[in-house]
Chains A and B, each alone.
Chain A
Amino acid sequence: AQSVTQLDSQVPVFEEAPVELRCNYSSSVSVYLFWYVQYPNQGLQLLLKYLSGSTLVESINGFEAEFNKSQTSFHLRKPSVHISDTAEYFCAVSDWNSGYSTLTFGKGTMLLVSP
């Protein structure tokens, strides 16, 4: 069975500071990895995904994540955060099993950006 651990439930940071949100996963098979973001009172939106190829993936709004197979990690980073990045971030893992896929989420990390 697969599982996802997000080590920090909350990360407070000042605007324009760098941030890293940590994610570790466990799975017995090849995985696909995702970061989703949830703004207040909204559904989840895909931020970025890793399927294969380059281990560094980037989103259009400055976030990036690096897949590290040996450490089974997929940490999310941004070099300079904005107030508007305040949201909850979910790491998720999916595998292919018997012809269907399921998405397993971590418990989420609340990113709090203050001026």
Chain B
Amino acid sequence: DSGVTQTPKHLITATGQRVTLRCSPRSGDLSVYWYQQSLDQGLQFLIQYYNGEERAKGNILERFSAQQFPDLHSELNLSSLELGDSALYFCASSGTLGGGDIQYFGAGTRLSVL
């Protein structure tokens, strides 16, 4: 158990809808990262928050947004969903901003857009 909790485990929705994925980091970790894993694109970094502030952005679509709350949990919001958004979404956390920090991954949320 990595200590990172993601809910829900599975999500099935329709095109055009909006969903929210939730992540609770390991106790004490200030950084939260979101990744998308798909068969064609592999593991893609989406966005990073550190202590409530956005710190880095990767290949995140404008339809997607995230935030980190004062209790350090994070939510990833996906809107106007398309079939191609079907993927496994991972959250990871680490203690600091350091490049050598180990990122601990949750079990993921599998999103299916029908």
Interfacial residues, chain A to chain B (CB-CB below 8 A): 32, 34, 36, 41-46, 49, 51, 90, 94-97, 99-108
Could you tell me if A43 and B106 are in contact, using CB atoms closer than 8 angstroms?
yes
User: Within the complex, which residue of A46, A96, A106 is in contact with B98, where a contact is CB–CB below 8 Å?
Assistant: A96
Query: Interface size (B, Cβ < 8 Å)?
Result: 26
Minimum C-beta distance from B76 to chain A (A): 15
Chain B, residues 57-71, CB within 8 Å of chain A (1/0): the string is 010000000000000
A105 touches B43 (CB 8 A): yes
B97 contacts A by Cβ under 8 Å: yes
Q: For B98, list chain A residues within 8 Å (CB).
A: 96, 101
Beta-carbon contact of A43 and B97 below 8 Å: no
Given contacts A41-B107, A44-B105, A108-B42, 10 further A-B contacts (CB under 8 A): A32-B99, A43-B90, A43-B105, A43-B107, A46-B103, A94-B99, A95-B99, A100-B48, A102-B56, A106-B42
On B, residues with C-beta under 8 Å from A are 2, 4, 33, 35, 42-43, 45, 48, 50, 55-56, 58, 90, 92, 97-108
Whether A99 lies near B43 (C-beta < 8 A) is no
Selected contact of A49 from candidates B45, B100, B108, CB within 8 Å = B100
Q: Decide if A102 touches B45 in the complex (CB within 8 Å).
A: yes
Q: Which chain B residues border A102 with CB–CB below 8 Å?
A: 45, 48, 56, 58
| Known A44-B90, A46-B102: A99·B42 in contact at CB below 8 Å | no
Chain A contacts of B103 at CB under 8 A?
Answer: 46, 103
Question: Which residues from chain A contact B35 at a C-beta distance below 8 Å?
Answer: 105
User: Which of A46, A90, A96, A100 is close to B43, meaning CB atoms less than 8 Å apart?
Assistant: A90
Q: What is the bound-complex CA distance between A36 and B105, given in angstroms?
A: 10
From the candidates B45, B50, B97, B107, name the one contacting A103 in the complex (CB within 8 A).
B45
**Given A43-B90, A44-B90, A45-B2: A105 and B42 interface contact (C-beta under 8 Å):** yes
